[in-house]
Amino acid sequence: MLFPVLSISSVQSLFVTTQRSTTQQAPRAIDVSVVLPTYNERDNICDLIDAIRREVAPGGYVYEVLVVDDNSPDGTAEVVRQRYNIDAHGEGQLPGEEHTTVRLFVRTQQKGLANSIRDGLIAAQGRTLVVMDTDFNHDPALIPQMVDLLRYYDLVIGSRFVMRGGMEDRLRYHFSQLYNVFIRALFQTQIQDNLSGYFAIRRERLYSLAPLFPAIFYGYGDYFIRLLLAAWRQNWKILEVPVFYILRRHGDSKTGFWSIFQQYTAAVLHLRFYGLRHTMTHH
């Protein structure tokens, strides 16, 4: 196997490993880690990393990019490996930026969006962590302001449902908006976009939720509803900044409308009736 494969027995043990390796290595003060989960994003991923660089580098941040790929059959990992000279340890560099690391994780054991994001977040070394889709739904221009706002907030969400937020796909926009009304009513929160999946968080804040990771990070985008509920219940300071989703640039969607609707609804009802400490049994 060319790339490191994250095999996880428990979040706790990985947490300890990460802490240990962080202290053993020469300290690299990374300001921002951008976690990019990919599945068949061959034609998007390098363009997105270039776009992230254009937005983040001028701010003078020290940053790293983590691509967490579920062994995509379209060869996403291979494209990243070649473009950024990824070595046997899964590390490469942005061309011309020797301090900016691109790290590639190819997962072959346990697949799924939420697990990929968890693995990326745990492996990330930055003081602040950003998670976003890799198909250009999420505008990388927002990263600097989201990171800066973490001076005042624990969690910053890119939101379609605050002033000037939106979505090119009007039908999905209205449906998501309605679904968010349902989520807010069920959990009595004030979060406008519970389905966004575009967020920035302070690393130490995220780790304060480590005992809840198994109850949060499973399934698909529904993990975000659970993450937000955990944050809300712990009285975190949460801010929503407007984001306008454009349509995915290349490739195919992994989400069928009805299957996602059913999956999210099962997850939301489970969360409502069993709470945050229990994972759904079939995951």
Task: HSE, CB side, 13 Å, CA atoms: give it for residue 115.
Answer: 21
Q: CB-wise, 133 or 222, nearer to Mg ion?
A: 133
CA distance 144 to 140: 9
CA distance 195 to 34: 19
Footprint of ligand GTP (CB under 6 A): 37-39, 41, 68-70, 111-113, 116, 133-135, 137, 248, 253-255
Convert residues 205-244 into a mask of x (bound to Mg ion by CB under 5 A) and - (unbound): ----------------------------------------
177 binds, among Mg ion, ligand GTP, none (CB under 5 to 8 A by kind): none
Q: CB-wise, 89 or 254, nearer to ligand GTP?
A: 254
CB 99 within 8 A of CB 62: yes
Q: CB-wise, 135 or 154, nearer to Mg ion?
A: 135
Q: What are phi and psi of 217, to 5 degrees?
A: -90, 75
Query: Which range binds Mg ion by CB under 5 A, 19-27, 133-141, 193-201, 203-211?
Result: 133-141
Least CB distance to ligand GTP at residue 248 (A): 4
CA distance 67 to 273: 35
Q: Which amino acid appears at position 67 of this protein?
A: V
**Residue 152 CB: number of other CB atoms within 10 A?**
9
List of residues 6+ apart from 19 with CB closer than 8 A: none
From 137, 180, 192, 196, residue interacting with Mg ion (rule: CB under 5 A): 137
**Best CA proximity match to 48, nearest among 135, 168, 117:** 135
Q: CB-wise, 222 or 240, nearer to ligand GTP?
A: 222
Q: CB-wise, 39 or 84, nearer to ligand GTP?
A: 39
Residues that bind Mg ion (CB under 5 A): 133, 135, 137, 248
